[in-house]
Each structure stands twice: as structure tokens, then as C-alpha cells.
Structure 1
Amino acid sequence: MKKYIFCHFTVAALSVIFISQGIAQNSDSVIIQNIINEATNNSQLKPLAHELLDDIGPRLVGTPQMKQAADWAIAKYKDWGIDAKIENWGEWKGWERGISHIDMVYPRVKSLEGTQLAWSPSTKGKNATAEVIILPDVQDSVAFRQWLPNAKGKFVLVSMNQPTGRSDDNWKEYATPASFERMKAERDVQIAAWAERIKKTGYTTRTLPRALDSVGAAGVVSCTWSKGFGVDKIFGAYTKRCPSVDIALEDYDLLYRMAEAGDKPRISVYADSKDLGVVPTFNTIAELKGTEKPDEYVILSAHFDSWDGATGATDNGTGTLTMMEALRILKKIYPHPKRTILVGHWGSEEQGLNGSRAFVEDHPEIVQNIQAVFNQDNGTGRVTSISGQGFLNAYEYVSRWLTEVPDSIRNNITTTFPGMPGGGGSDFASFVAVGAPAFSLSSLSWDYGVYTWHTNRDTYDKIIWDDLRNNVILTAILAYMASEDPATTSRDKSILPIDIKTGERNKWPEQRKANRRGGLD
């Protein structure tokens, strides 16, 4: 009799389990299909991109535009019924870009394509007009110190003149093989010679502008060519008194050739930037509070700041838009998640992952209860790879979550498990360093490294909308699956392989502290 009762109970229990699993699977499929439908048929990506990238523009840390962008994001989230806030974590050098103009005024008149570098001093409401000279090739640092007074009142060219403004791909397509190889060989010699020229000054590319600044140079002129047509990398200035500008290759080489030929070209620079003193720096945080496990977290991660040579559309406007749109959709389709879903829009990633590092330092109670972090930060392309970041069992849960992603998206993604833990590059690394399961949703290139990464061409028109919608669908589904998963993710680490260069076993990345006083020390 007992045996019969036991068997009867087992069959009933199994029936309940199978029915429950069927209901759960059916519920999953309905929610996932609704996510796909909302992302496809009611996408808000384009209006969001216009408001963020066209209207607000670049989001350099320490600028009013960074704060304006945060206020805009918070207002959007609140319109969608999502809690959001600014969370201060440090101070930064405040600065605001103003009207700037660079012109050659002798031996002929020509407006030049160029950009004042971030945090560069202004020309104080006037035009700084002076002769352009080339950084000399001196014998040693003693000779350079003797030459330095010659920089007073001059604009000094501190970058190599490039032998070609064409990309290597363009050369490869049209040049003869012999011509292509000859150009590359000559360029390699020129690059080595310029590096040696800098070295002999006794300074580095960082300290040289300061030396020129200290003797009263009219300005420092660079060209950080990005190896593509009309594209330069735009970073920060190292000068405190004179303006620093980057001039596009076509115009930079013109000035260089003229100076080299003894034409004594003169340029006029007007740069109306403002030093705003010390300002707060911050992260912008939004969240959907969990219902069953509110103290466990799924984090959607993207840095909010950008360099300001352009509008930061693909670095990291597209990552920002992906996370905002994913959370908007989740609020509409899945308003009561089991775990808390948090979006971190980090500040000052570009200066060393500072916002996410500060968050990790300031919120151990969150970090110790992270279910997963999904970070996107390498351009506009569709996600094509996910690494397990060295977490031994990541294959089990990440692969399981991915099974619910549509084939058209999932089949284009290569997974690597357990993978190697990332020590930098983007904000997921801040979490990996403290043992939290964080994953980079790595994208198809679209020539990101050449044409949009930190460049003067990182603008709205470079966005690939189909790829971006795919990334929204992927992110929202992964967040949903991670939130619903009955199990807590494993943090077990794999045994890392031997480094063939050192013969020693690779080590897990160490946690690094955030710089909380940028540009002020």
C-alpha cells in the first residue's frame, strides 16, 4: 500500500513539474516574442540618438554636456516609469569647448581642418597668430634645451608628416605590389626616425608639449592620423598656457612641407574654450527593482562619456542607446523582474574605467550579489562574440540564456569558454577584477578602430540601425533570462594557462582604484 501511494505521488509530482516547466517555457516564449516585437516595431533608437548625439553632442568628462546628458537620460527614464539618479564619485577639471577656428594666413589664406584638444587653454578672446616651425632634429637633450627658447612665440609642429593620406586598404586595392611595399618600408623608416627625434629631446609625447608651453610657445600643433581618409584621433591637451590643436593630415602636411621648404607659413588660431574650475564627476544609474530577489543584480553596462572630437556616436553612444532601449522595453514587457535590473552609465571610462571602478569600490553590497554584467562598448556593429572571461562555469549559464535568442542573432555569435579574464579595455573589466561575472558583448568592427574610435568622424551617420536593434534584442533577452534564472551564477574561476613569454601562470587581473581627481593634481 505504501509503495502504491509513493508511486502515485511521484507520478503526480512529475506531472506538476512538467506542467510547471511547460508554463514557464510558454511564459518565456511570450515575453521574449514581445521583446522582439517591441524592439522591431516600436524602436525608439533613432529619436534617442538624435536627442543625445545631435542635440547634446559629445560628453567629455568635466563638461556641461556630460551633466546635460545625464539630466536628459534621467528624464527619459522617469518618462518610462523607471527610477534613475546621478551618483557622484569624484571631481574633475571642468572645461567647456567654445567656438574655434584655425586658418593659414601666410603665404596664402586657407581655412584649416582642425580641432582644439580637450582641456586645452583658450586664446582668451583673441586670435593667436604666429609662424609655424617644425620640431627640430637635435643631437641630444642638451642641444634641445639650448634650442627651446626658439619656440617662443611660434606654433610648433610635433607630429611626423605622413607620406600618404590614403589608407592601406586603398593602396592594396590599387597600387602595384612593389609600390605598396616600397611605401610601407619608407613609412616604417620615417616612423622610426621621428620616434628617435622625440627621444633625443629628452621628453616624451606627453611631456614635450609642457616643455614648449613653459618657454612661451604660441601653441602646440599635432596630427594624430588614424590611418583612414580624413580621420584623426582627438585626445586631451598637455599644455597649461598655450592652446593645443590637432590639424587633419591633409592640412598638417601642407604646413609641414611649407615650413620645411622655408616658406615660413603663419597660422591664426581662435579657441574660445572656458576653464570651469573643479566640477563633480558621476555615474548615471537606472534600475527596475526586483520582486523576488531585489538584492541580486543584473547590470547592463555602457560608458556615458566620450572624447569630443566628434559626438561619440559609436564610442559609446551606441552602447548607451542599447542599454537605455533595452531597459525601456523590459519595463514595458517585464515590469516586475525577479532580480533587480540596473543600468550603469559610467563616467570617465575614457580616462581609465574610472566610473565603473568607483562603483565597484563604493558598492560592495551590490558587487557581491551580481548575477551577471553585460557590457557593450566597441562600436555600432552587431554583437559577434562573447567570452566567458575566465569564469569556469560561464558556458553553462551564458549558453543556456543564449538559446532563447533568435537564431538570426545567436548564429552570428561566437562564444569562447572559459576564455581569459579581461584586464581593461572597457567597464566589464572593473567587475571581472573583483570576481563578478561580467561579459563583453563584442561587436563587428565596421572599421571602428580606424574611422570612429576616438576620432573626428564618430558621428550619428556611422550608426548601423539594423545591427543596433539586434543588440537591443540580445541584451534585453539576456537580462530577462539572467533575472529569471532559478540558480545563482557560479563565480568559480578557471585555472589560467601558462604565459609562453614568461613561463609563468597568468594571474587574474587585480582591482584598480578609480582616479577621483581628474586633471586637478
Structure 2
Amino acid sequence: MKTDLTHHLNRWLRLAMSFACLLLSSITFAQTPDKSVIDGIMQEEATNSQIQPLAHELFDGVGPRLVGTPQMVKAADWAIAKYKSWDITAHKENWGVWRGWERGISHIDMISPRVKSLEGTQLAWSPGMGKKTVTAQTIIIPDLEDSVAFEKWLPSVKGKLVMISMCQPTGRPDDNWQQFALKESFDKMKAERTAMTTAWAKRIKKTGYTLRTLPVALENAGAVGVISNYWSAGFGVDKIFSAYTKKVPTVDIALEDYGILYRLTESGVPPTISIHTESKELGAMPAFNTIAEIRGTEKPDEYVMLSAHFDSWDGGTGATDNGTGTLTMMEALRLLKKFYPHPKRTILVGHWGSEEEGLNGSRAFVEDHPEIVKNLQALFNQDNGTGRIISLSGSGYADAKDFLPRWLAAVPDTIKNRIKTTFPGLPGGGGSDYASFDAVGAPGFSLGSLNWAYFNYTWHTNRDTYDKLIFDDVKNNAVLAAIMAYMASEDPAKTKNIKADGLKWPEPVKAMRRGGLNK
């Protein structure tokens, strides 16, 4: 009888202890944040934000950050010095080499049938002309039957400047048309633009070349330069971001001026253009990421990461692509250092190099740091524009629905109530650097923002400059990134990274570690 009583007593004690553990677990996973940390972050950003001065220094002072250029090195040195001033450790981490190139001046003028200075610039990696100036008439890629006909036409480009982009039917943005045009006029313009875009794509395809190989063929046939229109157009399929010629210049001319040249050429009065560009080939230059760190205390070998790509195209100054993401993460780490200086887990910021050429910096980091990948609590990446963050997906992880809402709960209502969450969501497919982590099963999440006409105005264009920033939105994004990193660091549990069923996950892609050297 005594034995039975002892047995039942022990059984009830075990049940009570289990219930207590469950209760403690539920309390723990409510994860109440330290109010002083949250309030400090909010107050500091409201009264002493560094976003605007950082933007001026990086975009107006350092400028564009094309991989392989001295400006990319200067930008990294600037960021490291800025982190040091905040008592944060940062360093450059080399992962390969890239074709070194430095932009010089670009002068493009129409000298007949009238004189006009044109808005344009040489494309990235355009070959240098030294002190030479090219003066020649323009010619348009014709609409021929097939590649055989094109090869017969090709010798006619000798001594000419060849225009390889379509002429846009309008220089007004669509919101102008929506506000002022008759519906039938707007619909007519859109239909015309779609038809022209489709026809031009077919025209290029019938040459037997792509926009990557066509400039080389033109150069080999004796063309003295290639003229495109993309930097400030943003419409259509004829997107050429960098030069593929080896000896003659490739320049991009703004939509308005390109239209003048195209219409004059098409009407049988080809203008004469004077082009003078200077650039330097620098050989193999180091390719690197810039990494900042606040070392963890209790779990230093587990990691929370904030990230954004540091490199940009160089027609503008890379303000929205991806300077805003860069500044968001720099400011977030500054806030964390001030109000959460001893995190539970190590907090890293990854400023990736060579995202624009294929996520190479983040892919290299994943390859080079298996210990971080294995012990990654979460990575939050921000790209694509200056707007406030409005979406957060579970990136295909089944357990993301458990921890992301818990972390987001600590964010002030004025920010989190604008964010739509999607679970399980889809894993990153290569659109930005978080995909490099998802491809190896490490939890990478994209902080999706309003685009502010990003894709048809600032993306990869000469218009991507300081004046396009929406500072209130970027400040909110820095607060969000800081609080999410804080909550992820403090979470008692390690994320499990269980993949949701039925989703297609991307395969890892090797980083290209010797880029552009054979161009």
C-alpha cells in the first residue's frame, strides 16, 4: 500500500513538473522584450538618426560602387571607419578578384544638323579612348528578314555609330497618363508600346545575336561606337547595363535625347555625333565583402545577420539599389550597439560585393563560412528601393510562422501593422542575396519594401541618386531591422529551419571568383 502511494505521488509530481515546464516554456516563448531597448532604439532614431548624413557621405561623396573599381574600395574603407567610430568591429573579407576599371569623363554632343549637348554616359567597363574623340553619323539596326540578311548588311556599319535600342513612344511616366489622359489614349499608348517592344525584341533576335554579342559583332565590322538607351528609360526589353565592346565606346543616352537621334536617323537625316570618353583598365582587383560584428556573449557561435549588397551600377550613385539597404543595416547595427551592446548571439552585418553580377559576394560568404551557415538563427536582407518595408515571407521554412511573428510582435504598431506576413512563403530564387542562404537551408528572409517606381525609374539607371530617397521610410526600416535582430538574438530557442513540404528549393550556385577578366 505504501509502495502504491509512493508510486502515485511520484507520478503526480512528474505531471506537475511537466505542467510547470510547459507553463514556463509558454511564458519563455512569449519572449517579452526589454522595454528600455525598444524605447531607446525608437527614441534615438526619432531624434538622432544618422541616415541622412550617411546617405550624403556615401552617395554624394563616395559615389557609385561598381565591383572592381576604386570607388568600391573607398566605400568599404568609409564603412569600416564609420563602424569604428561607433566602436563596432568591421573588416574587408576578400573572396576573389574582378576586372578592375575606373570611369573617366564622358562628353557626347550632336554637332549636326544642329548643335546640342546630349545627356549620356559611357557604360560600365567601356574601353578607354585615351584623348581621342570619335565623330561619326548614326545608323539604326534595321529590321531584316533573318541573320543571313543581317550579315550582308553588317559591313554598312563601318565608320558609323550604331543605335541598338528602340525609340520609346513616350517620355512621360504612366502615372502622368493615368492622371491626365483619356482612357482610350492611355490604352492606345500602352498597346503601341507593347507592340513596339515585342517587334524590337524580334528585330534583335533576327540578327542572330543577343544584346551581349551584338556590340562585339558591330565592333568587329568596323563600327566606331555603340549607342543604347536604357539608363533613364526603364521600359522595354533592350536592357544593356555594361559594355561588351573591347576597343570602341559603348554609351547610353537618355530617353529624350536618344529619341531625337533616332527620329532624325529614321527620317533620313542622320545626325553627326561627337563622343569622347575616358576610362582606365586596372587589371585584376580584389573582390570582397565588408563584414561588421557585435560579438555575442551567451551564444557567440550562433549568429543573427543583417545584410544588403554594397555594390551598384555606376550610371547614378546606387542610392536605391542598394544604398538604402546598406544604410538601413548600418544604422540598425549602430542602434543595437548603443542599446544592446552585449547580445546573446553574435550579430553580423554583411555588405555584399558583386550582387549585380550574380550574388557572388553572398554566395562566396556561404561557401567560406559553413560554421556560420550551420548556426544561423536568421538573416534579414533588404534590397530594391527606398520605400517602407511592407512584406515579410517565411521563405519556405515551416517553422518561420512560429518565430517571425513572435519577433515582429516587439516592433511598434506604426511599423508592424503595415507589414503583411506570408507563411510558409517561397524560398529565395536568386533575386537578391538572401537566396544564397536559402539555397543551403540557412534561414534567409527578404524585407520587401514599397518600390517608389524603382523598376521603371531608378533601377540600374542614372537617376538612382540621393534625391530619390524617402528618409522617413528608411528610418522606419532601420528600426525594424534593429528590433528583429534584437529579438532573434534573445530568443531562447534556436530556429530549426524545417523546410515546408511541396516547395521547390533552389540549388546552391558557386560564386564566380574571377569575374570579367576575360571580357
Classify the TM-score, shorter chain: over 0.9
> 1:307 and 2:313 equivalent?
yes
Q: Is the 8 A contact 1:123 1:269 kept in 2?
A: no
Q: Helix, strand or coil for the counterpart of 2:64? A: coil
Q: Which amino acid aligns with 1:478?
A: M
Q: Is the 8 A contact 1:233 1:456 kept in 2?
A: no
Kindly provide the CA deviation profile for residues 175-203 of structure 1, in whole angstroms up to 9, marking residues without a partner as x: 22222222233333322322222122111
The separation in 2 between residues aligned to 1:64 and 1:80, in whole angstroms, is 25
1:76 corresponds to which residue? 82
The separation in 2 between residues aligned to 1:399 and 1:80, in whole angstroms, is 30
1:110 corresponds to which residue? 116
The separation in 2 between residues aligned to 1:189 and 1:313, in whole angstroms, is 32
The separation in 2 between residues aligned to 1:317 and 1:353, in whole angstroms, is 16
Q: Helix, strand or coil for the counterpart of 1:206? A: coil
Partner residue of 2:355 out of 349, 353, 362: 349
Q: CA deviation at 1:14?
A: 7.1
The separation in 1 between residues aligned to 2:92 and 2:60, in whole angstroms, is 22
Structure 2 unpaired stretches of 5+: none
Structure 1 unpaired stretches of 5+: 497-505
TM-score, normalization: structure 2? 0.92
Q: Helix, strand or coil for the counterpart of 1:76? A: helix
Q: CA deviation at 1:233?
A: 6.9
Q: CA deviation at 1:25?
A: 6.9
Alignment of 1:194-343 (within 5 A): 194-224=200-230, 235-343=241-349
Indicate the percent of aligned positions where both proteins have the same amino acid. Answer: 67
> 1:88 and 2:94 equivalent?
yes
Q: Is the 8 A contact 1:349 1:426 kept in 2?
A: yes
Q: CA deviation at 1:311?
A: 0.5
Q: Is the 8 A contact 2:228 2:240 kept in 1?
A: no
C-alpha RMSD of matched pairs (Å): 2.3
The separation in 1 between residues aligned to 2:440 and 2:69, in whole angstroms, is 30
Q: Is the 8 A contact 2:387 2:474 kept in 1?
A: yes
Structure 1 runs of 4+ aligned residues shifted over 4 Å read 1-4, 24-27, 225-229
The separation in 2 between residues aligned to 1:327 and 1:273, in whole angstroms, is 36
Q: Is the 8 A contact 1:234 1:456 kept in 2?
A: no
Residues 225 and 73 of structure 1: CA distance in aligned 2, closer, same or farther (over 3 Å)? closer
1:502 corresponds to which residue? none
Q: Helix, strand or coil for the counterpart of 1:97? A: strand
Kindly provide the CA deviation profile for residues 330-352 of structure 1, in whole angstroms up to 9, marking residues without a partner as x: 11111111100000000000111
Q: CA deviation at 1:28?
A: 1.2
Kindly provide the CA deviation profile for residues 409-465 of structure 1, in whole angstroms up to 9, marking residues without a partner as x: 010000001111121111000001100111101101211111211111111111111
Alignment of 1:32-181 (within 5 A): 32-181=38-187
Q: CA deviation at 1:225?
A: 6.5
The separation in 2 between residues aligned to 1:432 and 1:228, in whole angstroms, is 30
Q: Is the 8 A contact 2:232 2:255 kept in 1?
A: no
Residues 210 and 36 of structure 1: CA distance in aligned 2, closer, same or farther (over 3 Å)? same
2:511 corresponds to which residue? 514
> 1:381 and 2:382 equivalent?
no
Q: Is the 8 A contact 1:228 1:451 kept in 2?
A: yes
Kindly provide the CA deviation profile for residues 52-90 of structure 1, in whole angstroms up to 9, marking residues without a partner as x: 111000000010000000011111111111111111111
Q: Is the 8 A contact 1:234 1:308 kept in 2?
A: no
Residues 331 and 423 of structure 1: CA distance in aligned 2, closer, same or farther (over 3 Å)? same
Q: Helix, strand or coil for the counterpart of 2:104? A: coil
Q: CA deviation at 1:249?
A: 1.2
The separation in 1 between residues aligned to 2:212 and 2:33, in whole angstroms, is 57
TM-score, normalization: structure 1? 0.92
Give the number of equivalent residue pairs. Answer: 503
Alignment of 1:461-472 (within 5 A): 461-472=467-478
